[in-house]
Chains A and B, each alone.
Chain A
């Protein structure tokens, strides 16, 4: 089979770029919806804030796992 196209250079960079799309969208949704929720119901600020932070840190963790995934897979 002939090679039509080839990627040269560091493939892990492309991998991390792809892996960062999801968390990027996720963080955007969390803060967007969170600000909207606070604007709609300022009384529930404490509760919304907790859940916003928790969701943010879980999403952020995924992005940062993507950062170390190339190092993990380099040894396999």
Chain B
């Protein structure tokens, strides 16, 4: 007898949320591509554009109001992301890095804003587009600054390795830089948001089920635990969401910096 299958089919028993019901959302208004993450992504773009417009459109020498907030974000991205990796080229790339950082952060914050509660980056297509953009920029800059052959030679044949080992190590180096670097770049953001949303959904469903749907004296303790864990993990998610946005922008700066200056 399969105990768990029996449990799952019983309407009186708690069933944890599955990835299908959390992430496969129905299209809105009968248009097949118009789903919740698409709407949230457009909303995020509008928020970030409006924010940057009102913060930086008419800069004053003594910043007031929203310009203060914008400049804190700008200083953070410039000093923590751009300058360590791009050096003197930092200011040229601030536009890309700043908008990328803000957009990913707001994408992720959508996961904890009440009634919205869906992190856009938990659908892999969204981080994939950003990662591929950075990848194309990286290859373009690398070929432009190091030459078509020089770029691949610098990449695949690092100095300080015995001659015979290049046969074994050059394909490894190529796959690492050309295939797996953008892949891990997008998967880091995607997997964190996916897992975070699953955790929050699980604990809040535990709380809802045991406190509202089927309230029993023994189950109430589990329900309270679920609510407490939801609060704790929401706090953790807020930290992770910021860290992932920072990390994505940092890795983008790292790849761009690596393409601009040949490895030594």
Q: Is any CB of A less than 8 Å from a CB of B in the complex? A: yes
Q: Which residue from chain B places its CB closest to the CB of A9 in the assembled complex?
A: B4
Q: Classify the interface of chain B: helix, strand, loop or mixed.
A: helix
Query: How far apart are A7's CB and chain B's nearest CB, in angstroms?
Result: 8
Q: Is A68's beta carbon under 8 Å from chain B?
A: no
A42 to B5, CA, bound (A): 58
Tally of chain A residues near chain B (CB < 8 A): 5
A7 to B3, CA, bound (A): 9
Across-interface contacts of B5 in A (CB, < 8 A): 8
A12 to B2, CA, bound (A): 19
Tally of chain B residues near chain A (CB < 8 A): 5
Across-interface contacts of A3 in B (CB, < 8 A): 1, 3
Contacts between the two chains (Cβ within 8 Å), count: 10
A8 to B3, CA, bound (A): 9
Q: Which residue from chain A places its CB closest to the CB of B4 in the assembled complex?
A: A8
Q: Which residue from chain B places its CB closest to the CB of A7 in the assembled complex?
A: B4
The residues in A between 1 and 15 inclusive whose CB is less than 8 angstroms from any CB of B are 3, 5-8
Query: How far apart are A56's CB and chain B's nearest CB, in angstroms?
Result: 15
Across-interface contacts of A6 in B (CB, < 8 A): 2-4
Q: Mark B178-195, 1 if CB is under 8 A from A, else 0.
A: 000000000000000000
Give the most central of A5, A7, A8: most B CB within 10 Å: A8
Q: Which residue from chain A places its CB closest to the CB of B1 in the assembled complex?
A: A3
The residues in B between 1 and 29 inclusive whose CB is less than 8 angstroms from any CB of A are 1-5
A34 to B4, CA, bound (A): 45
Q: Which residue from chain B places its CB closest to the CB of A8 in the assembled complex?
A: B4
Across-interface contacts of A5 in B (CB, < 8 A): 3
A3 to B2, CA, bound (A): 9
Chain B residues packing against A (C-beta within 8 Å): 1-5
Rank and list the top 3 A-B pairs by shortest CB-CB distance, nearest first.
A8-B4, A6-B3, A6-B4
Question: Can you sample 10 A-B contacts with CB below 8 Å?
Answer: A3-B1, A3-B3, A5-B3, A6-B2, A6-B3, A6-B4, A7-B4, A8-B2, A8-B4, A8-B5
